[in-house]
Structure 1
Amino acid sequence: MPDLWMPGAIRADVGDHAPCDTQYPAKAIAHITWDRNATAAKPQTLVPFTNLEAYFTGGGVGMAPHILWDPFSGQFAQFYPADSRSKSVVDLAGGTRTNRAGRVVIQIEALFFPYCKAPDGKVYAQLDDTPCKGWQQLQDWVTSWGVPQAWPMGHPTDFSPHRNEHVWETEGGWYGHSQVPENTHVDPGSWPAFIAPAKPPQKPVYEPFPGTSFFTTGRKSPIIAAMHARLVAVGCNHYASPANANVWGPGDERSYAAWQRKLGYTSTGADGIPGPASWSKLHVPNV
């Protein structure tokens, strides 16, 4: 099961958990806190994260989302577990239960308002212009709950409302507050694009040279076994026995010296102790 509480987020559980309507597809709702009204001519200072955290656990508990996200610092606070409804959108009696209409309905409030002056001294007109620190972690956690990386009513690009109750009830994915039925808010105005998961680093085809000091009598390693097999394959088999192929010993030294001589090394250059140049040419498979 995915994590009920987002890893790394401040856990500020406000209680009052309630189930979602799981017959609907999984959703996330994107908000901005919009706690001050500013303009390009008169920007205002961003409200501190701790102020909003205190608000959602105090006087504003009745409007608390699941997640408060600071896109400038990458901080998070979480007020409800993922499988509970939260309370950040209007939910009228008799209609679709907006706060619950999904296997999960994860609501995120980004700490932002248009033309806020951030701690870095810059003024930001749109959320997606901010550093968006922590967005990858937030996106991945929401996705782990089965929320598709899609905007069924379009990726928000302005403060215009676009609402369709049928789409809301039948399609999973991300919705702006401006797209939720029964609501009149027009935020978030913009939202960062989805980020592809980071690709794991590719494993090298050949084993990197482990260093001269690695090759000491009695060293046991799958690297030595792989080297043993390669020395046999290139016709440098001076082993007395195939036993203990993964342990460095006299047979390895004799066989590696033969490989060095095959490469043209002489005298101390063919002492049977691997060096980086001869090792790279042996093409020992990565283990």
Structure 2
Amino acid sequence: MADLYLPGATRLLIGDDAPTDGGPAKAVAHVTYDREATAAKPQNLVPYSNLRDWFGKNADGRTMAPHILWDPWTGRFTQFYPATSRSKSVADRPGGTRTNRAGRVVLQIEALFFPHCRVDGKVYARLIDTPCKGWADLNAWVRSWGVPDVWPMGRPTAFTSNRSEKVWESKPGWYAHAHVPENDHTDPGSWPVFTSAPKTYEPYPGASFFMNGTRPALGKRSPIFTAMGERLVAEGCGRYKVGPGPVLGQADVNSYEAWQRKQGFTGSDAKWPPGRTTWDALKVPNV
């Protein structure tokens, strides 16, 4: 199961959690843009602690807090909401699409940055010019919540806006603040490229993959079933007389239910189909 909290992040929880609406999983990229600077007149970066306390402790800041505040120079993170709650970093007008809630998750990330900020005497015009420390960990955590490594409205490359409510409501992936309906911001201007996804283990394919309506999908063929069965045998839960093989059979069902019981599940919770928690614990090799 994906972690509610980004591993390694400091937690400064606001405490007014609220559910999302379901639908395509999304992440929203922001920069704090807390000072106006130019190439001719750069300004010193605002201290990370200022933004952390603004979002986490200030009454006004708490009304616009994201899930994650990220310092791309040091790799520090502070988290204000668990992943499954909505946060408040985009405008959400009455009667329209619920921008902060329009997905199974809507993970909002604020990078500490403004154009032409100065750090240790060096000036940075774009977020991608910074060290982007911690990005790989952040990207992996967002990905673990089902947010694919895609920009449905294009990877941001400038401080310009481009919005489509239809795309926003129907497509999973990463969105710039500049892509979110009902909003007028043009950030983040740039964002680091996606990191390589680890391919050690087969990702959970969803309960429907294992079912034919309300019954197990017996007779379905996939190399995943072979890899799954081999891991069940290795864990001492195999109930096979032959195989395992690529065709789903009753022995696979019996074996997986034995694995779910071994993991502490009972009753209907131990029945087929596989759940995300036990699937991730089984560590099925990627096929």
TM-score by length of 1: 0.68
Q: Which structure 2 residues correspond to residues 242-253 of structure 1 after superposition, within 5 A?
A: none
1:89 is matched with which residue? Answer: 90
In our comparison, the structure showing a higher alpha carbon Rg is: 1
1:172 is matched with which residue? Answer: 172
1:206 is matched with which residue? Answer: none
Partners of 2:134 and 2:146 in 1: CA distance: 19
Letter in structure 2 aligned against 1:117: R
Instruction: Please say if 1:144 is aligned against 2:141.
Output: no
Q: Which structure 2 residues correspond to residues 167-206 of structure 1 after superposition, within 5 A?
A: 167-197=167-197
Partners of 2:31 and 2:110 in 1: CA distance: 5
2:39 is matched with which residue? Answer: 40
Partners of 1:108 and 1:149 in 2: CA distance: 15
Letter in structure 1 aligned against 2:178: S
Specify whether residues 15 and 37 from structure 1 end up closer, same or farther in structure 2 by C-alpha distance, changes over 3 A only.
same
Partners of 2:66 and 2:15 in 1: CA distance: 12
Which blocks of at least 5 consecutive residues in structure 1 are unaligned?
Answer: 201-287
Give the drift of 1:199: 7.6
Instruction: Please say if 1:108 is aligned against 2:109.
Output: yes
Letter in structure 2 aligned against 1:105: V
Letter in structure 2 aligned against 1:101: A
Q: Which structure 2 residues correspond to residues 147-158 of structure 1 after superposition, within 5 A?
A: 147-158=147-158
TM-score by length of 2: 0.68
1:80 is matched with which residue? Answer: 81
Partners of 1:128 and 1:180 in 2: CA distance: 21
Q: How many pairs were matched up?
A: 198
Instruction: Please say if 1:66 is aligned against 2:63.
Output: no
Partners of 2:131 and 2:53 in 1: CA distance: 24
Give the drift of 1:195: 1.1
Letter in structure 2 aligned against 1:159: F
Deviations 1:183-225 (A, max 9, x none): 000000000000114688xxxxxxxxxxxxxxxxxxxxxxxxx
Letter in structure 2 aligned against 1:162: N
Letter in structure 2 aligned against 1:70: D
What SS does the corresponding residue of 2:182 show, helix, strand or coil? coil
Specify whether residues 122 and 198 from structure 1 end up closer, same or farther in structure 2 by C-alpha distance, changes over 3 A only.
farther
Give the drift of 1:121: 2.1
Partners of 2:42 and 2:100 in 1: CA distance: 32
What SS does the corresponding residue of 2:16 show, helix, strand or coil? coil
Letter in structure 2 aligned against 1:49: Y
Letter in structure 2 aligned against 1:55: W
Which blocks of at least 5 consecutive residues in structure 2 are unaligned?
Answer: 201-287
Letter in structure 1 aligned against 2:19: P
Partners of 2:85 and 2:198 in 1: CA distance: 30
What SS does the corresponding residue of 1:63 show, helix, strand or coil? coil
What SS does the corresponding residue of 1:108 show, helix, strand or coil? strand
Partners of 2:199 and 2:50 in 1: CA distance: 37
Percent identity, please: 66
Letter in structure 1 aligned against 2:24: P
Partners of 1:26 and 1:32 in 2: CA distance: 20
Give the drift of 1:57: 1.2
Partners of 1:189 and 1:156 in 2: CA distance: 6
Letter in structure 2 aligned against 1:138: L
